[in-house]
């Protein structure tokens, strides 16, 4: 798989073949569509340099005919699981990725993270509920079977020591998946057959060098979402929804006030200083697809680019500076003083109607901010952004499921170029994967009822419990809340015990202090609930910026 670089020398030219028209940098192909009697869009390629009508439909590369050789093999690629910083080496961790239940654990004997099928070969108990024993083995706590980093069973307590060595049987082994650490992320290859054991030596996950560059800061965050992989990706590819769905959250003042640059925001210039996050801030966006094949696509957006690398990676980066010079490998030599910021998203299929996003926004300026501000505080706004369109995306996906994913282009009216990246993704999905992830018959096609918002938009189980920073913060803040209540009660007790020897001024001071501590504990309780458990949104009511939301001045 190709190694990525945000400073790649990009050739803005479509691939040609004997049965397709030639295009080049000076003649952009333009597509027009007409509605056939069968209500299907028909694409037509023109070599004109400008549209002949004012309503030019989105630009999209012509798709070749489908064929089995072009089908995308979803189970022959690396998938990100979690940020390394959020994994505790002392305990196993359960995750679900592409429908597979897996367990992550630290093998201290090899000094590596291991990924197993979350099922003990004995009675199928989840290994993620087990423990790491004193010899560094993964132990199933149901009957005590122990496994090493290769999945070999090393001990069966119920087997007589002088009897047959049944633990050496292949049937006693746990299924181990290849794992790989890159860009501060743990990846796994979803095949456990022996021939894939050393797949990491032949093929590596897509690399974003800036995530490992010491001159960049690159904090990672993950969140489980109650809508599917397809909806997640197309939402991140859509910059036009930002001033509407995220109104009141993404404002320039908040950027300057809190120095939070880790926001999934893209404008037509990718310049954060010019973000317009108001409900009248929509504008035409020029997005053109310059390449699309089985491995993803590349899109040009004004002075920036976005790229989809199948199956998980989608990222934005600004255009190259004029002083950049391409090297033989295609990378660009750039000045180290140039300010750079990327928006990197890993979109992970979990199960039908569920996905996980793992993202980071590496930058080489204001690096000190991430060294001073705790990571959990930086996650507050990211969670607000994700929550602000979560409910509508969940409902949108249910409508799409009812009409069928293959009918997306028939039902959705996408006449502007701002939707070109979304159209390209849907074209890619239709051509190479039958319009959706191939879940097969493992999951029921029946949609479950939409749960109450408190469950659908829950933050604790979708993020906090798997985030090392937020989980520690909520424990400490809860302890502080209890401490404030204890201090308040203790202060009143002191007055009751020593009221005869205390002056009126002293009593007044102690009572005031007790009331203040109690009020602070109640405010802290509300703060903890809204930040770490549930925050509702009503887009019909004018939103407020983050500083008001944090202190709970206004609810919506």
| Banded pLDDT at 22 (limits 50, 70, 90) | very low
Cα angle value 536/537/540 (rounded, 5°):
150
What's the chain's Rg over C-alpha atoms?
Answer: 27
Instruction: With a cut of 90, say whether residue 185 has pLDDT above it.
Output: yes
Mean pLDDT check: name the lowest of 46-60, 61-75, 442-456. 46-60
**Pairing mode, if any, of strands 296-301 and 304-309?**
antiparallel
| More confident site: 547 or 493 | 493
Q: What is the pLDDT of residue 10?
A: 35
Do residues 87 and 113 lie in contact, with contact meaning Cβ atoms separated by under 8 Å?
yes
Percent of the chain exceeding pLDDT 70 equals: 75
Give residue 279's pLDDT. 60
Lowest mean pLDDT among 26-35, 342-351, 478-487, 525-534: 26-35
Distance between CA atoms of 539 and 537, rounded to whole angstroms? 6
Stretch among 31-35, 129-133, 163-167, 469-473 having the lowest mean pLDDT: 31-35
* Residue in the structure block whose two tokens are 């993270």: 113
How is residue 168 written in tokens? 């050496």
Interacting residues of 340 by C-beta distance below 8 A, sequence separation 6+: 6, 210, 216, 317, 318, 334, 363, 364, 365
Q: How does the average pLDDT of the chain come out, rounded?
A: 79
> CA–CA separation, 421 vs 200, rounded Å?
31
Residue 486, Ramachandran bin (φ over 0: left; ψ between -120 and 50: alpha; else beta) = alpha
pLDDT of 502: 79
Is-contact 113 73, C-beta < 8 A?
no
pLDDT band at 313 (very low <50, low <70, confident <90, very high): very high
* 237-241, 317-321, 402-406: range with lowest mean pLDDT: 317-321
Q: What is the pLDDT of residue 337?
A: 61
Q: What is the rounded average pLDDT of the residues 115-138?
A: 96
Higher per-residue confidence, 140 vs 441: 140
Res 250: pLDDT: 61
Q: Could you tell me which residue, 302 or 190, shows the higher pLDDT? A: 190
For residues 268 and 285, what is the distance between their CA atoms, to the nearest angstrom? 6
3-state percent helix, strand, coil for the chain, nearest multiple of 5:
30, 20, 50
Residue 19 zone, left/alpha/beta (φ > 0; ψ -120 to 50; rest): alpha
pTM of the model: 0.80
Residue 494's H or E segment, with its range, is helix 468-498
> Is the pLDDT score of 257 beyond 50?
no
| CA dihedral sign of residues 311, 315, 319, 325 | negative
pLDDT at 186 over 60: yes
Beta-carbon neighbour count of residue 342 at 10 Å? 20
Q: Return the pLDDT at 445.
A: 67
Other CB atoms within 10 A of residue 40 CB: 11
For the stretch 502-512, pLDDT in tens is: 788 888 898 99
Asked if pLDDT for residue 388 goes beyond 50, the answer is: yes
Instruction: Look at residue 440 in the predicted model and tell me its pLDDT.
Output: 80
Query: 484: which 2 tokens?
Result: 């404030």
Q: Which residues contact 74 (CB under 8 A, 6 or more apart)?
A: 98, 311, 349, 433, 437, 438
More confident site: 144 or 20: 144
Sheet containing 304-309, strands listed edge to edge, beginning at the edge strand earlier in sequence: 220-225, 354-360, 343-351, 313-318, 304-309, 296-301, 287-293
Percent share of the chain, pLDDT over 90: 55
Of the pLDDT bands very low, low, confident and very high (cuts 50, 70, 90), residue 283 is confident
């Amino acid at each position: 798989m190709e190694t990525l670089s945000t400073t790649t020398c990009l050739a803005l030219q479509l691939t040609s073949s004997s049965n397709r028209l030639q295009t080049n940098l000076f003649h952009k192909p333009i597509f027009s569509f007409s509605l056939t009697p069968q209500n299907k869009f028909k694409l037509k390629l023109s070599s004109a340099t400008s549209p002949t009508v004012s309503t030019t439909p989105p630009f999209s590369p012509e798709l070749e005919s489908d064929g089995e050789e072009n089908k995308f093999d979803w189970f022959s690629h690396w998938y990100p699981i979690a940020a390394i910083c959020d994994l505790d080496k002392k305990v196993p961790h359960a995750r679900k990725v592409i429908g597979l239940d897996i367990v992550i654990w630290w093998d201290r004997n090899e000094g590596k993270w291991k990924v197993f099928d979350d099922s003990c070969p004995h009675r199928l108990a989840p290994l993620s509920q087990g423990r790491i024993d004193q010899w560094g083995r993964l132990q199933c706590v149901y009957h005590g079977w122990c496994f090493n980093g290769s999945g070999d069973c090393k001990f069966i307590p119920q087997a007589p020591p002088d009897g047959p060595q049944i633990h050496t049987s292949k049937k006693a082994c746990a299924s181990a998946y290849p794992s790989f650490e890159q860009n501060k992320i743990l990846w796994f290859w979803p095949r456990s057959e022996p021939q894939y054991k050393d797949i990491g030596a032949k093929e590596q996950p897509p690399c974003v060098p800036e995530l490992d560059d010491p001159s960049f800061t690159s904090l990672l965050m993950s969140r489980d979402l109650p809508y599917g992989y397809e909806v997640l990706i197309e939402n991140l590819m859509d910059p036009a929804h930002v001033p509407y769905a995220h109104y009141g959250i993404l404002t320039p003042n908040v950027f300057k006030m809190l120095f939070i640059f880790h926001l999934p925001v893209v404008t037509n210039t990718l310049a954060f200083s010019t973000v317009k996050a108001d409900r009248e801030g929509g504008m035409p966006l020029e997005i053109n697809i310059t390449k699309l094949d089985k491995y993803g696509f590349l899109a040009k957006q004004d002075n920036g680019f976005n790229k989809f690398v199948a199956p998980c990676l989608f990222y934005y980066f600004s255009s190259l500076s004029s002083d950049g010079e391409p090297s033989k490998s295609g990378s660009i030599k750039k000045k180290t003083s140039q300010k750079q910021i990327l928006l990197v998203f890993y979109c992970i299929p979990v199960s039908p109607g569920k996905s996980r996003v793992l993202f980071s926004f590496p930058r080489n300026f204001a690096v000190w901010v991430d060294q001073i501000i705790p990571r959990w505080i930086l996650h507050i706004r990211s969670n607000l952004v994700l929550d602000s369109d979560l409910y509508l995306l969940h409902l949108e996906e249910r409508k799409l499921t009812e009409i069928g994913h293959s009918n997306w282009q028939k039902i959705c009216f996408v006449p502007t170029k701002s939707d070109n990246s979304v159209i390209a993704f849907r074209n890619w999905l239709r051509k190479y994967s039958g319009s959706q992830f191939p879940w097969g018959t493992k999951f029921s096609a029946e949609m479950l009822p939409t749960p109450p918002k408190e469950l659908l938009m829950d933050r604790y189980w979708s993020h906090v419990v798997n985030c090392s920073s937020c989980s520690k913060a909520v424990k400490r803040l809860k302890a502080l809340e209890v401490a404030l209540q204890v201090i308040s009660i203790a202060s009143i007790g002191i007055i009751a015990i020593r009221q005869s020897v205390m002056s009126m001024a002293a009593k007044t001071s102690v009572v005031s202090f007790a009331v203040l501590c109690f009020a602070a504990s109640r405010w802290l309780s509300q703060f903890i609930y809204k930040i770490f458990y549930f925050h509702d949104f009503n887009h019909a009511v004018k939103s407020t910026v983050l500083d008001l939301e944090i202190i709970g001045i206004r609810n919506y």
